[in-house]
């Protein structure tokens, strides 16, 4: 097994005694593995609803918000049914591997209700005994609950507006005709990890080239729908400007 | 004392009326402060952008950088053809006709080809988009001079924090765009386009609409096989959208990997739009998790099982994130 698979197995309590020691030895010497391990623990905690919504102050807007929407963990867990054979009828369980956020696959795990908590508890004890505290990876302030004023719903007040608009929701079209959300068999939703906070506003040029190309094709397709017809081909100016190599003329700040 | 009671009663009545007026439906409130003349100018712009021949150069200012570009547009026999080419840095081109849009990016040795939609986008006057004025305040700000031409300035101001606004300079003579600024809800300029030269010739030869770069040896990515599908039949749906956003289009594109097709859902309010992409990624493909920014376009990615969900939009980051977080699957 590679390191990624070892970590997954460690979290899932699938390693024997010698393998556990080996996995911990690897983490002691590899910061990347320690960070990944802490993310797995966080993901497990979030899926079990044991962690309050994590507030992420936004750099670009006045609205802070939870990293995950309230009820996200419950929706995900409700969507994960007990394991049943792959491809069974009725849209039931299909085992889907969980992808690590670096793109490396992890071994397919049954999306079972096998509790994660004992594995986490054991892992934390083992981590502590190895001489480092995984919890230190996640600042306690990250778990602060969202302020009550904004928790009631997003206020869409514009700066200087002379009145507060109603909560800006209009899901009627989005939900029209929708049936109740049935289980997506075997889907273990890959929650947005704490590291995504650092990825906030991450420039696409800094992304993996394969992600960049995918985003580029998305942007090309999306550009056809931009501007309400007012700007002709101008949305594509962004496509070609973003595709240029760094070192285009620098016009200074605005 | 009776007189004082009457005065007090009248004052209370006036206050109630004022409160009721303030709490009136946003449509009524909104249309009271939108300028019909501004809306007419925008309709004229949409028609002009489609039906005029023009050959123009402009500077695109974004992220502290400037790119100079040339745009050539021809309208003949009811059909449009146009070409956008960079004049600074490496040569990059976009060609567009009635059927497709072709982006040639030599830096990445890449050609991206997508479907063009001249009817659905260019044929829709801004004013007829339902609820448009409910979500934006349109104002005619005055006159100015730019690119050596007389212009009128139009302001399109969003009424909430979930969409961007614009300031547009429109040529008095033709109605064409001479300058534009994309602004966030706080009024901060995110990017701008300033035309430095505009010509409207009677004819435009084919030679001006042919690419300088062949694209031979490049990697080609295409979504030309995409099929438009009924809007309500998607298994994926956002639970939250900004007010006034409705589904505009849904399409699927087969993928060479043979996996489930790429699904593309488009939502818009008549001016702003966002797309939701759902793609079953190969095991070896990296996933976008969290936020990414492409100029003024924000993207937010998440994985559910093997499915990459990506929300892309020329809207604030908070908007794409809220939409992405709300996406549900219905089996």
In this prediction, the residues of chain A whose per-residue pLDDT falls under 50 are 50-68, 82-199, 247-248, 250-254
Q: Are residues A111 and A137 in the same domain?
A: yes
Is residue B52 within 8 A of residue B38, CB to CB? The reply is: no
**Alpha-carbon radius of gyration of chain A:** 22
Q: Chain A contact for B312, CB < 8 A?
A: yes
Rounded to the nearest 5°, which phi and psi values hold at B144?
A: -155, 180
Say which of A165, A169, A184 has its CB closest to residue B331.
A184
pLDDT digits (tens, 9 = 90+) for A173-186: 333 333 333 333 33
Residue B327, pLDDT score: 92
Domain count, chain A: 2
Q: What DSSP element (H or E) covers B119?
A: helix B118-122
pLDDT class of B189 with cuts at 50, 70, 90: very high
Q: Is the pLDDT of residue B75 over 80?
A: yes
Q: Are residues A196 and A211 in the same domain?
A: no
Say which of B101, B177, B284 has its CB closest to residue A220.
B101
Cα–Cα distance, A30 to A130 (Å, whole number): 13
Domain boundaries, chain B: 30-209, 225-329
Q: Look at residue A153 and tell me if it is in a domain.
A: no
Residue A48, pLDDT score: 53
Q: Is the pLDDT of residue B78 over 70?
A: yes
How high does pLDDT run on average in chain B? 83
Q: Look at residue A166 and tell me if it is in a domain.
A: no
Q: Look at residue A192 and tell me if it is in a domain.
A: yes
Whether the ipTM is more than 0.95: the answer is no
Residue A26 or residue B131, greater confidence? A26
Topology (CATH) of B225-329 = Phosphorylase Kinase; domain 1 (3.30.200)
Locate tokens 């302020």: which residue?
A147
The terminus-to-terminus CA distance of chain B in angstroms comes to 71
Residue A197, pLDDT score: 37
Q: Are residues A91 and A195 in the same domain?
A: yes
Q: Are residues A9 and A45 in the same domain?
A: yes
Say which of A157, A213, A237 has its CB closest to residue B110.
A213
Q: Look at residue A231 and tell me if it is in a domain.
A: yes
Locate tokens 């900004």: which residue?
B242
The two domains B30-209 and B225-329 share their CATH topology (first three levels equal): no
Q: Are residues A8 and A123 in the same domain?
A: yes
Q: Write out the residue range of the structural domain in which residue A138 sits.
A: 1-148+183-200
Q: Are residues A136 and A40 in the same domain?
A: yes
Determine if residue B64 is left, alpha or beta; phi over 0 gives left, psi from -120 to 50 gives alpha, anything else beta: left
Q: Are residues A15 and A141 in the same domain?
A: yes
Cα–Cα distance, B76 to A151 (Å, whole number): 55
Residue B145, pLDDT score: 94
A225: chain B residues, CB-CB within 8 Å = 117, 121, 248-249, 266, 268, 273, 275
Mean pLDDT value across residues B20-39: 56
Say which of B103, B268, B321 has its CB closest to residue A239.
B103
pTM of the model: 0.61
A64: chain B residues, CB-CB within 8 Å = none
pLDDT class of B43 with cuts at 50, 70, 90: confident
Q: Under 8 Å CB-to-CB from B13, ≥6 apart: which residues?
A: none
Q: Is the pLDDT of residue B13 over 70?
A: no
pLDDT digits (tens, 9 = 90+) for A128-152: 343 333 333 323 333 333 233 333 3
What CATH number should be reported for the domain whose range is B30-209?
2.50.20.10
DSSP states along B62-96? ETTEEEEEEEEEEEETTEEEEEEEESSSS--EEEE
Q: Are residues A139 and A225 in the same domain?
A: no
Residue numbers of B between 150 and 189 with CB closer than 8 Å to A: 158-162, 166, 168, 177, 180, 184-187, 189
Q: Under 8 Å CB-to-CB from B266, ≥6 apart: which residues?
A: A222, A225, B247, B248, B249, B250, B273, B274, B275
Q: Are residues A223 and A195 in the same domain?
A: no
How high does pLDDT run on average in chain A? 51
B90: chain A residues, CB-CB within 8 Å = 244-245
Residue numbers of B between 101 and 120 with CB closer than 8 Å to A: 101, 103, 105, 107-108, 110, 112, 114-117
Q: Are residues A188 and A238 in the same domain?
A: no
> Is residue B195 classed as helix, strand or coil in its secondary structure?
strand
pLDDT class of B36 with cuts at 50, 70, 90: confident
> Is residue B274 classed as helix, strand or coil in its secondary structure?
strand
Of A224-228, B19-23, B310-314, the least confident: B19-23
For residue B293, give the chain A residue with the closest CA: A203
pLDDT digits (tens, 9 = 90+) for B190-249: 999 999 999 999 999 999 999 998 878 888 877 766 777 776 778 899 999 999 998 988
Q: Are residues A106 and A196 in the same domain?
A: yes
Q: Are residues A63 and A187 in the same domain?
A: yes
Q: Is the pLDDT of residue B85 over 90?
A: yes
Residue B18, pLDDT score: 53
Q: Look at residue A74 and tell me if it is in a domain.
A: yes
pLDDT class of B122 with cuts at 50, 70, 90: very low
| Residue A136: Cβ-neighbour burial (10 angstroms; 0-12, 13-18, 19+) | exposed
Q: Look at residue A54 and tell me if it is in a domain.
A: yes
Q: Under 8 Å CB-to-CB from A41, ≥6 apart: which residues?
A: A11, A120, A123, A124, A134
């Amino acid at each position: 097994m590679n390191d990624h698979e070892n970590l997954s197995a460690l979290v899932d309590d699938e390693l024997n005694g010698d393998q556990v020691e080996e996995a911990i030895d690897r983490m002691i010497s590899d910061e990347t593995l320690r960070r990944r391990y802490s993310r797995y623990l966080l993901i497990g905690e979030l899926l079990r609803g044991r962690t309050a919504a994590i507030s992420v102050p936004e750099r670009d807007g006045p609205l802070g918000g939870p990293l995950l929407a309230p009820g996200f963990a419950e929706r995900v867990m409700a969507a994960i049914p007990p394991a049943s054979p792959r491809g069974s009828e009725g849209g039931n369980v299909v085992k889907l591997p969980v992808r690590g956020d670096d793109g490396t696959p992890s071994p397919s795990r049954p999306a079972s209700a096998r509790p994660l908590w004992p594995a986490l508890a054991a892992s934390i004890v083992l981590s502590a005994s190895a001489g480092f505290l995984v919890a230190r990876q996640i600042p306690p302030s990250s778990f602060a609950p969202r302020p009550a004023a904004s928790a009631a719903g997003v206020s869409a007040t514009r700066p200087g507006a002379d009145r507060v608009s109603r909560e800006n929701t209009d899901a009627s079209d989005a939900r029209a005709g929708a049936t109740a959300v049935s289980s997506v068999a075997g889907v273990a939703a890959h929650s947005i990890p704490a590291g995504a906070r650092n990825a906030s506003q991450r420039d696409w040029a800094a992304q993996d080239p394969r992600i960049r190309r995918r985003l580029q094709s998305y942007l090309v397709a999306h550009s056809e729908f931009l501007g309400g017809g007012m700007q002709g081909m101008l949305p594509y100016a962004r496509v070609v400007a973003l595709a240029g190599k760094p070192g285009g003329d620098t016009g200074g700040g605005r | 004392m009776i007189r004082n009671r009457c005065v007090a009663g009248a004052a209370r009545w006036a206050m109630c009326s004022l409160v009721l007026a303030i709490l009136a439906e946003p449509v009524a409130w909104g249309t009271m402060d939108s300028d019909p003349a501004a809306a007419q100018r925008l309709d004229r712009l949409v028609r002009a952008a489609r039906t005029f021949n023009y050959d123009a150069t402009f500077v695109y200012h974004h992220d502290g950088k400037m790119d100079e570009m040339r745009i050539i547009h021809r309208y003949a026999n009811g059909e449009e053809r146009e070409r956008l080419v960079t004049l600074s840095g490496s040569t990059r081109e976009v060609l567009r006709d009635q059927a497709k849009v072709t982006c040639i990016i030599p830096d990445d040795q890449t050609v991206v080809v997508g479907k063009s939609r001249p009817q659905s986008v260019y044929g829709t006057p801004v004013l007829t988009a339902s609820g448009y004025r409910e979500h934006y305040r349109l104002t005619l700000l005055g006159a100015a001079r730019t690119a050596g031409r007389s212009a009128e300035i139009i302001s399109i101001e969003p009424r909430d924090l979930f969409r961007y606004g614009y300031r547009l300079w429109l040529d008095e003579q033709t109605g064409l765009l001479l300058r534009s600024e994309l602004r966030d809800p706080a009024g901060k300029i995110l990017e701008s386009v300033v035309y430095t030269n505009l010509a409207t010739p009677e004819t435009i030869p084919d030679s001006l609409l042919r690419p300088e770069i062949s694209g031979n040896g490049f990697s080609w990515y295409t979504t030309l096989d995409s099929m438009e599908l009924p809007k309500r039949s998607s298994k994926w749906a956002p639970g939250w959208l900004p007010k006034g956003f409705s589904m505009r289009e849904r399409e699927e594109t087969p993928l060479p990997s043979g996996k489930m097709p790429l699904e593309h859902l488009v939502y818009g309010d008549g001016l702003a739009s966002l797309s939701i992409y759902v793609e079953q990624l190969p095991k070896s493909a990296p996933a976008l998790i969290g936020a990414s920014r492409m100029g003024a376009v924000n993207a937010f990615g998440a994985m559910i099982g093997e499915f990459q969900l990506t929300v892309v939009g020329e809207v604030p980051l908070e908007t794409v994130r809220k939409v992405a977080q709300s996406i549900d699957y219905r089996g």
